Structure 1
Amino acid sequence: MAGVTLDVNKTVVPNAPGISVNPYWRKTLMNAVYGNAINYTDFAANFQNQNFITNTITSALAALTPNGAAYLNEADFQQPNWKEVFYGANYNRLNSIKAKYDPLDRFYALGAVGSDRWTEKTDGRLCRV
């Protein structure tokens, strides 16, 4: 499955307020969305397809689009360099905000700011790194 959206903007927004997504979104002309069909009877096939997306498709697109970005809700959950791709230069600022308002790291999401301080065990439990 694949799709491409074309988002056109006449100008780059000057002096735009801080945002949480990667700042390259302010310069984005095209957004590629791709995925794979889920096989409800063959988990191994799903795993293989997802690894193909991560290791072949995503890496090929990254080579074509240096400094590209991805939107967390539509991204590869196995994105290797997720801090850079999802947040870019905003990551440190967002991490400071999280430390102020969530000092105990109560809020967690895979690929969210601060999620690298946790690891998921094979039984699904989250444990601090």
Structure 2
Amino acid sequence: MVKLKPIGLYDELSFPDLEQMVAALKLTDRINMDQLYEEFCASLEEIQKATKDTTKSTSEKWVAIFQNVGKDNMTNMFKIVSFVLSVPGSNAFVERIFSLMANKWSDSRNRCSTELIKK
């Protein structure tokens, strides 16, 4: 998790940070490091602007960067950011499902079929 922290853009992002992220996420076979370096250099100004903006969330910052630079110009960076941001921050959703299932399938309703619960 420490290696993924720079994606939050709370501090200045550097290329070695990106290299460590790629290695930690085991994306070395899907990311072209030479192109990633070029994308990083081309978008460095936008990344620095986003880092200074404390009013936006991490995802809003990255959306602004991709809009200003162009998502097509940052394919490798987009792969990394979308991979990291797609991981949920907590398991609250899963816990809620278990809670709902416990309400539906209780000791008094133990004969419910799987089809009924799905519906």
TM surpasses 0.5: no
Greater strand content: 1
Greater helix content: 2
TM-score, with normalisation over the residues of structure 2? 0.30
> Which is higher, the Rg of structure 1 or of structure 2?
2
